[in-house]
Copies of this chain bind each other. A is one copy, B any other.
Amino acid sequence: MSPAESPGGLATVDAARDALRARGLRWTPQRRVLVEVVLAAHGHVTGAELIDRCRAIDPDTTPSTVYRTLDTLEELGLVQHSHGLDGGEEYHTLPASEHGHLRCEGCGGSWDIEASEAEALTRALTDSRGFTVNLSHLTVVGRCKGCSPT
């Protein structure tokens, strides 16, 4: 058995390799590069960004391979995507705890919103409408302290 059943996140390169192989999928150099890049980013990155960073490691990186692998990783629950300020897709590793994102329109900064922080909202919506919030898809846009409207 593995050291510990990961709660779903992409914790290490080895975990990704194991997860893929466990499903009869293959572990390739290209996938290794992408997984490394995704892990190193531990934030929110667009597909195009990921391609660039992969190319920094392997200049021969191909878009189709990256996108296809991202799809695969998402199916395995190792990464997830949401949408950024410009509406573009953004990928991020699935961390131990589900969380939302905070984006500043001024500086472009990004922070996590913990479940506890969003609880007031999620509970309000559940109570009043029976609506279940997908926290990891939640992006709150606005202005951070430093970029506040004077």
Binding site for B on A (CB under 8 A): 83-84, 87-89, 102, 104-105, 111, 113, 117-118, 120-121, 124-125, 128-134, 137-145, 148-149
Contacts and interface: CB of A to CB of B under 8 A. Distances in A.
A109 B39 CA distance: 34
Given A87-B87, A117-B124, A125-B117, A141 B134 contact: yes
Contact of A133 (B89, B117, B140, B149): B140
A82 to B, nearest CB: 8
A113 to B, nearest CB: 8
A60 B148 CA distance: 44
Grouping DSSP codes into helix (H, G, I), strand (E, B) and loop, the A interface class, with mixed when no group exceeds half, is mixed
Given A117-B124, A120-B121, A121-B120, A137 B141 contact: yes
B117 A128 contact: yes
How many copies make up the complex? 2
Given A83-B83, A140-B138, A131 B145 contact: yes
A124 to B, nearest CB: 6
A92 to B, nearest CB: 14
A131 to B, nearest CB: 5
Given A102-B129, A130-B144, 14 more contacts: A87-B88, A87-B89, A102-B125, A105-B134, A117-B124, A120-B121, A121-B121, A121-B140, A129-B145, A131-B142, A132-B148, A133-B142, A134-B142, A138-B140
Interchain residue pairs A-B with the least CB separation, the first 6: A120-B120, A130-B145, A121-B121, A83-B87, A137-B141, A133-B142
